[in-house]
């Protein structure tokens, strides 16, 4: 990506994972952080409806049936594996990726 003067601009993506990560992304959006693409990733379909992120990725629809992972890292891992292709596509083209979770 280049700016109006032709200078190269890094493509930066901030990914919020789960409830805590999505809350952090929402806070950054509300604070007016610019120049980045915000991505929310969650197993909880309802929680994704509440995020201000540019891109919303519901992972593990088969593994969790749209519900949360219950703070179980094994369920989260299975959900991410299930949605691997969608995650890879969303991150494509990024020069830097920041992941926030909690």
* Domain limits, the chain: 12-101
Q: What is the pLDDT of residue 102?
A: 82
Q: Is the pTM of this model over 0.75?
A: yes
Alpha-carbon distance of 64 to 76, in angstroms, equals 9
Q: In this structure, are residues 42 and 58 in contact, taking their beta carbons and an 8 Å threshold?
A: yes
Confidence (pLDDT) at 1: 65
CATH class of 12-101: alpha beta
Per-residue pLDDT tens for 3-58? 677 778 899 999 999 999 999 999 999 999 999 999 999 999 999 999 999 999 99
């Amino acid at each position: 990506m280049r700016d109006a003067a032709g200078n190269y601009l890094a493509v930066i993506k901030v990914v919020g994972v789960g409830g805590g990560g999505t809350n952090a992304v929402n806070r950054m959006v509300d604070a007016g952080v610019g120049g980045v693409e915000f991505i929310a990733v969650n197993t909880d379909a309802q929680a994704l409806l509440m995020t201000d992120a540019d891109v919303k990725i519901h992972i593990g629809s088969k593994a969790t049936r749209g519900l949360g992972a219950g703070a179980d890292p094994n369920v989260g891992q299975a959900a991410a594996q299930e949605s691997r292709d969608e995650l890879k596509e969303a991150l494509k083209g990024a020069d830097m990726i920041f992941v926030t979770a909690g």
